[in-house]
With several copies, the nearest count.
Chain A
């Protein structure tokens, strides 16, 4: 599909590479589907994406994290399609010389992912209802360089 998007179940082993000799810290994050969202019993989710811009945005987040933080490696994989409770929606692995930067980069990347990547979440509830979750608008009025 794309480098950072997968229609298949995610396994952390896909992102874990051998530890780098110059890194003392590896932080991994797995975001899974919870059985409850704002008090409603969740049955499952469906993630869709505008893949060209979503994949580019995820690649940009990885690059920018490597520039902003003292880390050596940051990888992100986001699941698309239908997910049940407990299924992994997003995986992230970060390697850094020291743990502070690894944790900070991981949190920054996840926060930025939520704000900037064209991925859309439809939540299905146990009572049969479903909702497209609202999120962050990507509208900008003018080009950065205009």
Chain B
């Protein structure tokens, strides 16, 4: 299946936009694993990058649907 991945924060410097990923049906952790393989330069960051779909931050075990638009959320620090 294909999903669209949007980068936020410092990840915009690493991940070309827009990014389409082809991967077998799976969960958020599988998307992260695929990205970690494709962008090993950010290896130490991937375990701390969350994934949002719309307004929701998805847990690692959430199922991904074909056509999902997923936002990559590095550690946050507003205020």
Contacts and interface: CB of A to CB of B under 8 A. Distances in A.
Contacts of A54: 78
Interface of B: 6, 8-10, 47-50, 52, 54-57, 59-62, 71, 73-79
Nearest to A59: B55
Nearest to B57: A138
Interface of A: 31, 47-50, 52-56, 78, 89-90, 110, 113-122, 132-143, 146
24 contacts: A31-B79, A48-B8, A50-B71, A52-B52, A53-B57, A53-B71, A56-B55, A78-B78, A120-B74, A120-B76, A120-B77, A133-B77, A135-B75, A135-B76, A137-B47, A137-B48, A137-B50, A137-B74, A138-B76, A140-B50, A140-B60, A142-B61, A143-B61, A146-B61
Nearest to A58: B78
A52 B55 contact: yes
Contacts of B55: 52-53, 55-56
A118 B8 contact: yes
B76 A136 contact: yes
A116 B56 CA distance: 12
A130 to B, nearest CB: 11
Nearest to A79: B78
A44 B50 CA distance: 27
B57 A121 contact: no
Main secondary structure of the interface of A (DSSP, over half): mixed
A113 B79 CA distance: 7
A119 B10 CA distance: 11
B74 to A, nearest CB: 7
A118 B73 contact: yes
Given A53-B52, A136-B75, 6 more contacts: A50-B8, A89-B78, A122-B10, A140-B50, A141-B61, A146-B59
B73 to A, nearest CB: 5
A108 B10 CA distance: 27
